[in-house]
Structure 1
């Protein structure tokens, strides 16, 4: 087990969640897309927004796909 997996497991235990329900790769991929194509501080905020959406019943894969597409299509000057 690597450090990230151990952290996710410990954080899940702390929050009474199941590590198997966490798609770490999807979260990291979206965070990378936001950090590289929008703005670095947007990565953790976007991860939080993903969690809120999923917590409210959205499909995790759909949320990740939609946010990645939004970030990858973001104008290079940072404005829409």
Structure 2
């Protein structure tokens, strides 16, 4: 029986292939970490929304030639992570 990590990696590769993105590398753990930050800093449903928006932003940056795929993904996830953390701090009682 496959572990959860193996299943996620298999799912990621299969989905990338279905979307004709065979050559794209995804750091599954980094995406899940970003989802965790959003879920704990904002609310749980912010996790998929945050990762989707970060991915969309990365795709736009990469597709327009502003940056490489990897750099676009790293930059978008860094902004989303920082924004979620700052959002939580701003929403904290007494902030």
Give the structure 1 partner of residue 28 of structure 2: 24
Tell me how large the CA RMSD over aligned residues is.
2.2
Number of aligned pairs?
A: 79
- Alpha-carbon separation, structure 1, partners of 2:84 and 2:29: 16
Unaligned runs of 5+ in 2: 63-71
- Alpha-carbon separation, structure 2, partners of 1:71 and 1:30: 9
Unaligned runs of 5+ in 1: none
Deviates more, 1:53-62 or 1:69-78: 69-78
> Which segments of structure 1 move beyond 4 Å, counting only runs of 4 or more?
none
- Alpha-carbon separation, structure 1, partners of 2:23 and 2:42: 29
**CA displacement at 1:54 relative to structure 2:** 1.1
Give the structure 2 partner of residue 15 of structure 1: 19
Greater RCO (Cα-Cα under 8 Å, separation 6 or more): 1
**CA displacement at 1:14 relative to structure 2:** 0.6
**CA displacement at 1:19 relative to structure 2:** 6.1
**CA displacement at 1:37 relative to structure 2:** 0.8
Give the structure 1 partner of residue 75 of structure 2: 62
Larger Rg: 2
TM-score of the aligned structures, taking structure 1 as reference length? 0.83
